[in-house]
Amino acid sequence: MVEFNFNISSIFQEEICIIGNDLIPHGHTGDLNYVFLKQKMVTILDVMGEASAQAQGLKNPITSGSKMLASEGQTVYLLVDRKAVSGAGAVVGMLKVGRKKLFLLDNCGKPNELSPLCVLDFYVTERRQRTGCGKLLFETMLRREGVEPRYLAIDRPSEKLISFLKKHYGLSGIIPQVNNYVIFSGFFKDQPADASKAREAKKPRIYMGKLQYV
């Protein structure tokens, strides 16, 4: 578990918290002010991103508070143990997903331009690994995103993640790519419309003083 020098339980009301690019946990109803909340979220994402990078042997973290603020359409799922540290709470795991425009080769080596949901970063603290925490996070993500596992693209999966996906979702038969993404057999069969080219590439604009994506 990752402990912090502030109260995790007062920030997160649920066991799994969903965070978008504004860094405010979805459904947040607490009385904490937003500036304070954002600062704490930046710290949490920085620390979890660093821990994930270390676990994967990466020089630079994939996830941080500033990266999250700067990206569009990414979602972080955080698993929290609200009872830990005498009720102060601790963070147990993190899963980050988002749609990316990718050129993916099918079984015949033909390139396809798609925007699949990608697994970008996934980490469960060492002592809690292999106790079902990863599955809990992943299932929550699949339900909320409405995606079948075989339609996911995985950014540089570790051996542990390859084993995880095979065990829980029967994913195997990697279709070779020329980028860092891994997709599995069944990826191209009946591709859902939301991964097709048409949906992605929304452009930002300012309209009536507000940022919109059109």
Least Å distance, CB 49 to ligand ACO, is 11
Least Å distance, CB 211 to ligand ACO, is 29
**Binding residue (CB under 6 A) for ligand ACO from 56, 112, 185, 196:** 56
Least Å distance, CB 79 to ligand ACO, is 9
Q: Which two tokens stand for residue 189?
A: 């069969």
CB atoms under 10 Å from CB of 77, counted, come to: 21
CA distance 91 to 78: 7
Question: Which lies closer to ligand ACO via its Cβ, residue 56 or residue 185?
Answer: 56
Least Å distance, CB 162 to ligand ACO, is 8
Span 131-170, contacts to ligand ACO by CB under 6 A:
131-135, 154-158, 160-161, 163-164, 167
CA distance 50 to 43: 11
Please write down the long-range contacts of 29-38, taking CB distance under 8 Å and 24 or more positions apart.
Answer: 37/11
Give one DSSP letter per residue of 133-199, joined into a string. HHHHHHHHHHHHHT--GGG-EEES--HHHHHHHHHHH----EE--SSSEEEETTTTTT--GGGSGGG
- 177 is an interface residue for ligand ACO by CB under 6 A: no
**Binding residue (CB under 6 A) for ligand ACO from 18, 37, 55, 105:** 55
- 179 is an interface residue for ligand ACO by CB under 6 A: no
CA dihedral sign of residues 179, 182, 188, 194? negative
Site track 105-124 with ligand ACO (rule: CB under 6 A), x = hit: --------------x-xxxx
By the 8 A CB rule, do 115 and 193 touch?
no
List contacts with ligand ACO (CB under 6 A). Answer: 55-56, 119, 121-124, 129-135, 154-158, 160-161, 163-164, 167
